[in-house]
Amino acid sequence: EIVLTQSPGTLSLSPGERATLSCRASQSLSSGYLAWYQQKPGQAPRLLMYDTSSRATGIPDRFSGSGSGTDFTLTISRLEPEDFAVYYCQQFAGSPPTFGHGTKVEIK
């Protein structure tokens, strides 16, 4: 099973700042099949990014994804109030699909 380690656990930032979230895999995701989800309290996860760097429908361009191999990053260029949430990475390169434990982006 591929283990995904997300860091930091919590990111305290102000609106307008840049957020950089990391997701490290225990083995190479050679296919690049890595997705990112946003989850707000009381809501289901929402797909943000797929295939490492492709934005899902309706996701604003302040969200971007990058990476390869074992190291992946989600960047939010300028935080909007609605972006404060928990973010999870998920890999589909190996079976079973696995999630990271999440990074909480909170208002500083």
Partner 1 sequence: QVHLVQSGSELKKPGASVKLSCKASGYSFTDYSVNWVRQAPGQGPEWMGWINTNTGNPTYAQGFTGRFVLSLDTSVSTAYLQISSLKAEDTAIYYCARWDQVLYAFDIWGQGTMVTVSS
Minimum CB–partner distance for residue 107 and partner 1 (Å): 20
**Of 58, 61, 57, 68, whose CA–CA distance to 91 is shortest?**
68
Q: Which residues contact 30 (CB under 8 A, 6 or more apart)?
A: 69, 93
Q: For binding to partner 1 (CB under 8 A), which residues are involved?
A: 33, 35, 37, 43-47, 50-51, 54, 56, 88, 90, 92, 96-102
- Whether 51 and 58 have beta carbons less than 8 Å apart is answered as no
Minimum CB–partner distance for residue 58 and partner 1 (Å): 11
CB closer to partner 1, 64 vs 99: 99
User: Which residue shows structure tokens 């999870």?
Assistant: 88
CB closer to partner 1, 12 vs 54: 54
CB closer to partner 1, 1 vs 14: 1
